Chains A and B, each alone.
Chain A
Amino acid sequence: MDQIFVNAKHWLLWLLSWLTAPPGWVIQVASSLINIFALLFVFLTLFALMSVLERKILGRIQNRYGPNRVGPFGLLQPVADGIKMLIKEDIVPARADQLVHFLAPILIAAAAILVLGVIPYGRNMTPFTIDGGILFFFAVGSTTELAVFMAGWGSNNKFSMLGAMRAIAQMISYELPLIITVLPVVMVVGSLIPDRIVAAQAGYTFGFVPRWFVFTPWGATAFILFFVSGLVESNRTPFDVPEGESEIVAGHMTEYSGFKYATFFMAEYIGMFAITGLAATLFLGGWHSPVQMLEFIPSYIWFFAKLSALLFVYIWLRGTLPRTRIDQIMNFAWKFMLPMSFTCVIAAAVWHYAGRGLRGWLWSFVVIAIVYTALSKLLDTQRKFAPRTYRFAE
């Protein structure tokens, strides 16, 4: 059961070579194509499912039903949405930069889909093993900023431009903690290859606590920081200022309609899957099972269970938290997230040199606790709230 998809692919390739006896590179291309189609199929299905589930769960949180008309429990809603998006008119503003306006959604979707390729979805189930897989993830992910900018500038619209500026400002700021929190994991494992990172988290301490990095003090801190930065990178509430509907229409997507808008929407969701998938790989043990007794359940099921759990938290946060202001976001990034992520690196080093055992656990906890208390004292978070004073409006 565990290797069913791997075996299916091998069988397909064997069938191909048996039927036609092609040269070696054809087999290589076919193997890549199978991986690509499998990835696209799984994640587009997940996207469709997620879009309807998100609305259902948000509905529950807000004490209403959510979509329940199309199909059983409203599960066919994405089909209806897709048809609606497809038959909508595609409007390009007359003063827009035609080419840039056209290329932006393609680039953003391509970057989002490309990064999915390096995540290990199960035992022997990494679509593309690259020597620096983690680096690839962030290198390709960083082109999203340029794509968002192209969308904002190419639309020739004030709201688009404002949205793009906000998006880039917050994405650049949070890219730092996002990458620095990955650093301790890479340091401890000594490899940039996602498969190695997952392999390093195999096994159980005392026979029942899985050796996931989230169960070490530095790992737990880094995981929370990574998760918050991931929220920002995928422009989700509470950090959705770039497209804040109540302020600037839809940010960089204002001038997009029909299928181009749907592409943006899809890219956002797929980016979210990628970042949660990476979080699960780095900190939650990838496809390893949490309990030794349940190891008979296939690895890919564990991976997608972790992915869904994290995605549920995304939806939950969206349903509960209001939007933050841009200056709050920036202050939080530079004054809290960045020092804390550097602390994670130091704490991981302390953990490593204190023997990776209980003693290391305690010492790295002490490091993090000291920095956290010092930061909260320095940033004056204990301050009581006073009546609000207005500078410009009175």
Chain B
Amino acid sequence: MSSIAFVLIAVLTLAAALAAATLQKLMHATLSFALTFVGVAALFFLLGAEFVGLALIFVYIGAVAVLVVFTILLTRRDVEKDRGANWGGTFLAVAMFGGLTWAILKTQSVAIAAPHIRALTVRRIGETLMTSYVWPLQCIGLLLTAALIGALVLVMEEKR
């Protein structure tokens, strides 16, 4: 049952990722990019990591995809133009893939290393974040606030 689901989701995700890289219209590429994240989130759901899957949908579809769409709309005039082959991007993608494959092959299998992993509930994530990782969490919050204020300062109209 779950292996069928895995194959279906994996095929969907890979197809969407491929479409995001190859489609001619930039807007279509963005939408398939969003679909890729739905697939990845579904994989997380299949693994029982609901929180990660939901956060992925929340951040990448609710925020990042909308941001990308907005950016395309506000900045580019040539939305409909053909895109040529992007050799730098291809090289980067192949290098990334190779590096990741190498890293994955080198690591010990998680299933062998830790046979009993406790269920990853939202409650446990919350408790860990609020107790042992509270300082990193606060630092990230501060950094993001600083980034937000910085962005506002950049676009603020200068007073004459």
Contacts and interface: CB of A to CB of B under 8 A. Distances in A.
Interface of A: 25, 97, 100, 130-132, 135-136, 138-140, 142-143, 145-146, 149-150, 153, 165, 168, 172, 175, 191-192
B51 A135 contact: yes
Given A130-B50, A142-B57, A153-B27, A135 B62 contact: no
A172 B54 contact: no
A364 B25 CA distance: 53
Contacts of A130: 50
Contacts of A25: 1
Nearest to A192: B122
B58 A150 contact: no
Interface string B54-93: 1101100111011001100100000000000000000000
Contacts of B27: 97, 100, 153
A145 B57 CA distance: 13
B160 interface: no
A31 to B, nearest CB: 15
A135 B50 CA distance: 10
A140 B57 CA distance: 7
Given A25-B1, A132-B122, A146 B54 contact: no
Contacts of B61: 142-143, 146
B66 A131 contact: no
B12 interface: no
A132 B51 contact: yes
A139 B62 contact: yes
Given A97-B28, A135-B51, 19 more contacts: A25-B1, A131-B123, A132-B54, A135-B122, A138-B58, A139-B54, A139-B62, A142-B58, A142-B61, A142-B63, A143-B62, A145-B62, A145-B66, A146-B65, A146-B66, A146-B69, A149-B66, A149-B69, A153-B69
